[in-house]
């Protein structure tokens, strides 16, 4: 199983997301995460999909998605040549006297504390997925009450493969 | 002018001659507006067949077939027809009425989320929200349906939007689709690679699929293979691209194909798939067939290339353009020995059938029927044993062979033949089905009668769902389950009820006489052939 990050530029119209997610479910492709948001040009939405499968499946994903009428462009974000980011919010159950080490740990990871309650904290962490995984690994001793991840979004470096919108 | 008027005007602009359909309240504004045009309407007897008739018409005209049905059950009944066209890559524009747009989502009477339901079998779908969008939507729909890899497009049209007044109407000259640009021209570098491989090859073979016909590349293919003397086989959807008796044509491949055609696939050192998917029925275990073979795959759909077999030379584009460009090269290849060995395989591996003389032998019947047909006749095969016999024994000359090889939808032949006959009233149209598939569409005899559509229907009757019975014979040791059709009606009475001529053929005696009578006039005929219930394809 390999993993690839696909970036799609699609029409910003109703039903696009369901067409794309429907394609994944009916052809049995695995989506690990999907994020979507409008681009600088409001006619288009940029979608980032992390998908896993063997090479043939990943190749088919690229071709089948490209075939959808609403899809202007799909490209693979090469890890060596792209920036990936994911935002993660973690609500940790922690009493006041045990907060200190958690704050220190958050500090090392440049995570922010965005909410403090008498028995809990919400930590906001931004980074690439491996940084988030590493942080979550270090939280093992704590009770994570709730966790929300946005999924990966990303851009390739430089101007080489930019799709200029007319 | 309202939205419905705009839609029918757009259909006129697209040159639509016929609309197949079934009305209901939600599509009434459309069916009212169409009365003001010269477009002819055909009331089919169940919605699924509207799509099949539109498919038959599209396959003859090369333009999208059009059907229009009402909301809810009308729309859902259409789905199998849409899915059939999708699997066979047939261009359709399907119009469905929809409930008032303000009521969408509230489960009112005859509401169905049809754009959601057909999502996986359409190239694209529209839900019209503003009647002013109609010209753009229809222009796009016809373009999307009939370009790239062809297929059905659905337009869902709420009744209030059909009634919405619009001020200005102008039909766009061209489509402006920012996100949809199918590849037409093949990559020249790849074409040069094909030339090189063809010169190296000793045993090249072309496998033609339905895409050759859809790209209208029949002549290009024929002149290329005649020039280079390359043998050709075909998939089921590719039947008729080469005349059956053409010396370079070796028949259909696949698990129901001819043994020598499959042997050719195994022994070829170069296979050029043109407009074919390398799908399961045509190429069993592609990785084994293709192991030491140079595989050239020409397809308009990039996703088909490499889906079922990795191609040595993939080339995306329109088959007609690519074959034409390929024929401009001087290709130095000598394949005489290979052709002679294929010829000898055909002699060495005859298909031996031992028909019971008490019955009509479907193989010989189909062969002799097709030889009696006019040179340009249209033959529509249904699904089941009849389809396999038709594929193997029908002799195509300059006519057409239509069937649903992709979806395999029973009941396709009669409605498709209706569409084909309306498209080409000057040509003989024959639908060949079994007694199972006949009963799936026999309500269309009323359509034939109402609009005087003289199609010949042949029913190969064995009182079984023969293809399934055969499968249960081999796989379940004759433990037959739910394949007995013995409650079927007397076809003679059915024919009388619809004012059709009827003929029953019991065995092979006097077959020529029967066939002459059947084909003598351009009139509808129901011909029942009693075939051996235990026969195998």
User: A53-85, pLDDT tens digit by residue?
Assistant: 999 999 999 999 999 999 999 999 999 999 999
Q: Contact at 8 Å (CB) between B320 and B220?
A: yes
Residues B16 and B442: their CA atoms lie apart, in Å, by 26
Q: Which of A45, A61, A63 to mutate to test the interface with B (most CBs of B within 10 A)?
A: A63
Cβ contact B116–A26 (<8 Å) = no
Query: What is the bridge-based pairing of β-strands A44-53 and A30-38?
Result: antiparallel
∠ CA B123-B125-B128, rounded to 5°: 160
B299 and chain A: CB distance < 8 Å anywhere?
no
Angle between helices B188-200 and B319-327 (to 10 degrees): 60
Q: How far from B457 is each of B106, B435, B517, CA to CA, in Å?
A: 45, 11, 14
The number of C-beta contacts closer than 8 angstroms across A and B is: 40
Q: Which neighbouring-strand residues pair with B241?
A: none
B177 and chain A: CB distance < 8 Å anywhere?
yes
Q: Which domains, ranges and CATH numbers included, belong to chain B?
A: 3-163 (3.40.50.970), 188-348 (3.40.50.1220), 362-530 (3.40.50.970)
- Whole-structure pTM value: 0.92
Run means of pLDDT, 10 residues per run, chain B, 537 residues: 98 98 98 98 98 98 98 98 98 98 94 95 96 98 97 98 96 92 92 96 97 96 96 97 97 94 94 89 72 91 87 93 95 94 93 94 98 98 98 97 96 98 98 98 98 98 97 97 96 98 97 98 98 96
Nearest chain B Cα distance for residue A125, angstroms:
36
**CATH code for the structural domain at A2-76:** 3.30.70.260
Alpha carbon B448 to chain centroid, angstroms = 20
Residues A57 and B314: their CA atoms lie apart, in Å, by 17
Residue B311's SS3 state is: coil
Q: Which of A69, A72, A74, A166 to mutate to test the interface with B (most CBs of B within 10 A)?
A: A69
Point out the residue among A22, A63, A69 whose CB comes nearest to the CB of B144. A69
Q: Contact at 8 Å (CB) between B360 and B507?
A: yes
With a cut of 0.85, is the ipTM above it? no
For the CA atoms of B414, B418, B420, B422, the dihedral, rounded to the nearest 10 degrees, stands at 170
The per-residue pLDDT for B308 is 82
Residues A15 and B104: their CA atoms lie apart, in Å, by 15
Q: Any idea what DSSP says for residue B377?
A: -
* Helix, strand, coil abundance in chain A, percent, nearest 5: 30, 45, 25
Residues B53 and B190: their CA atoms lie apart, in Å, by 39
Nearest chain B Cα distance for residue A83, angstroms:
25
> In the numeric block, which tokens belong to residue B466?
């023969």
Q: Which residues from A are below 8 Å from B115, CB to CB?
A: 15
Q: Where are the alpha helices (DSSP H) in A27-146?
A: 55-67, 99-108, 129-138
The per-residue pLDDT for B289 is 66
Q: Within chain A, which residue ranges are assigned CATH 3.30.70.1150?
A: 83-153
B482 and chain A: CB distance < 8 Å anywhere?
no
- E-state strands within B176-247: 204-208, 232-234
Q: Contact at 8 Å (CB) between A147 and A120?
A: no
Q: What chain A residue is nearest to B178 in terms of C-alpha separation?
A: A72
Cβ contact B120–A72 (<8 Å) = no
Cβ contact A67–B303 (<8 Å) = yes
Report domain A83-153's class. alpha beta
Q: Which residues from B are below 8 Å from A71, CB to CB?
A: 179
Point out the residue among A26, A60, A166 whose CB comes nearest to the CB of B120. A26
Q: Does the pLDDT at position A15 exceed 90? A: no
The per-residue pLDDT for B251 is 96
Q: Within chain A, which residue ranges are assigned CATH 3.30.70.260?
A: 2-76
Task: Please state the length of chain B.
Answer: 537
């Amino acid at each position: 199983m390999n993993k690839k990050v696909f970036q799609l530029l699609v029409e910003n119209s109703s039903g696009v997301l369901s067409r794309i997610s429907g394609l994944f479910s009916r052809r049995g492709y695995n989506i690990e995460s999907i994020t979507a948001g409008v681009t600088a040009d409001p006619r288009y939405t940029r979608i980032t999909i992390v998908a896993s499968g063997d090479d043939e499946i990943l190749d088919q994903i690229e071709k089948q998605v490209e075939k959808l009428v609403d899809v202007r462009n799909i490209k693979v974000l090469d890890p060596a040549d792209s920036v990936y980011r994911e935002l993660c919010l973690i609500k940790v159950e922690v009493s006041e006297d045990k907060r200190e080490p958690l704050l220190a740990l958050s500090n090392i990871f440049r995570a922010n504390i965005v909410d403090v309650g008498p028995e809990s904290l919400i930590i906001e962490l931004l980074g690439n997925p491996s940084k988030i995984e590493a942080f979550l690994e270090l939280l093992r001793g704590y009770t994570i009450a709730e966790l929300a991840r946005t999924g990966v979004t990303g851009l390739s470096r430089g101007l080489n493969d930019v799709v200029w919108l007319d | 002018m309202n939205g419905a008027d705009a839609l029918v005007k757009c259909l006129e602009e697209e040159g639509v001659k016929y609309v197949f359909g079934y009305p209901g309240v939600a599509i009434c504004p459309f069916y009212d507006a169409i009365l003001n045009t010269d477009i002819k309407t055909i009331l089919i007897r169940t919605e699924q067949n509207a799509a099949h008739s539109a498919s038959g018409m599209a396959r003859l005209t090369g333009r999208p077939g059009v059907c229009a049905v009402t909301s809810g059950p009308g729309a859902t009944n259409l789905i199998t027809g849409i899915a059939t066209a999708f699997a066979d890559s047939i261009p359709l524009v399907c119009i469905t009425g929809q409930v008032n747009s303000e009521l969408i989502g509230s489960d009112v009477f005859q509401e169905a989320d049809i754009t959601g339901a057909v999502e996986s079998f359409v190239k694209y779908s529209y839900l019209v929200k503003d009647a002013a969008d109609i010209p753009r939507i229809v222009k796009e729909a016809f373009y999307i349906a009939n370009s790239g890899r062809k297929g059905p497009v659905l337009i869902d049209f709420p009744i209030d939007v059909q009634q919405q007044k619009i001020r200005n109407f102008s039909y766009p000259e061209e489509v402006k689709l920012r996100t949809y640009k199918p590849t037409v021209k093949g990559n020249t570098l790849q074409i040069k690679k094909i030339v090189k491989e063809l010169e190296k090859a000793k045993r090249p073979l072309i496998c033609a699929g339905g895409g050759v016909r859809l790209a209208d590349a029949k002549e290009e293919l024929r002149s290329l293979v005649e020039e280079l003397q390359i043998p050709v086989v075909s998939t089921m959807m590719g039947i008729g691209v080469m005349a059956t008796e053409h010396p370079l044509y070796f028949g259909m491949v696949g698990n129901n194909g001819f043994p020598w055609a499959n042997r050719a696939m195994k022994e070829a050192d170069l296979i050029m798939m043109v407009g074919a998917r390398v799908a399961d029925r045509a190429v069993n275990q592609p990785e084994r067939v293709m192991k030491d073979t140079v595989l050239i795959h020409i397809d308009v759909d990039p996703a088909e290339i490499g889906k079922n077999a990795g191609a040595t030379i993939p080339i995306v584009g329109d088959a007609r353009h690519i074959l034409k460009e390929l024929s401009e090269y001087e290709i130095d290849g000598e394949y005489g020995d290979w052709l002679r060995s294929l010829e000898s395989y055909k002699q060495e591996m005859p298909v031996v059938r031992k028909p019971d003389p008490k019955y009509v032998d479907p193989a010989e019947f189909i062969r002799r029927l097709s030889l009696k047909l006019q040179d340009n006749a249209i033959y529509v095969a249904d699904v089941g044993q009849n389809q396999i016999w038709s594929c193997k024994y029908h002799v195509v000359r300059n006519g057409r062979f239509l069937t649903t090889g992709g979806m395999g939808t029973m009941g396709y032949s009669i409605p498709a033949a209706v569409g084909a006959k309306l498209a080409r009233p000057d040509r003989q149209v024959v639908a060949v089905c079994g007694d199972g598939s006949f009963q799936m569409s026999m309500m269309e005899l009323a359509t034939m009668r109402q609009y005087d559509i003289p199609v010949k229907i042949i029913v190969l009757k064995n009182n079984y769902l023969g293809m399934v019975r055969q499968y249960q014979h081999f796989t379940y040791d004759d433990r037959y389950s739910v394949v007995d059709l013995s409650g079927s009606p007397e076809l003679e009475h059915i024919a009388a009820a619809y004012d059709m001529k009827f003929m029953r053929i019991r065995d092979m005696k006097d077959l020529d006489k029967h066939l002459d009578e059947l084909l003598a006039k351009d009139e509808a005929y129901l011909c029942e052939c009693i075939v051996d219930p235990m026969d195998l394809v």
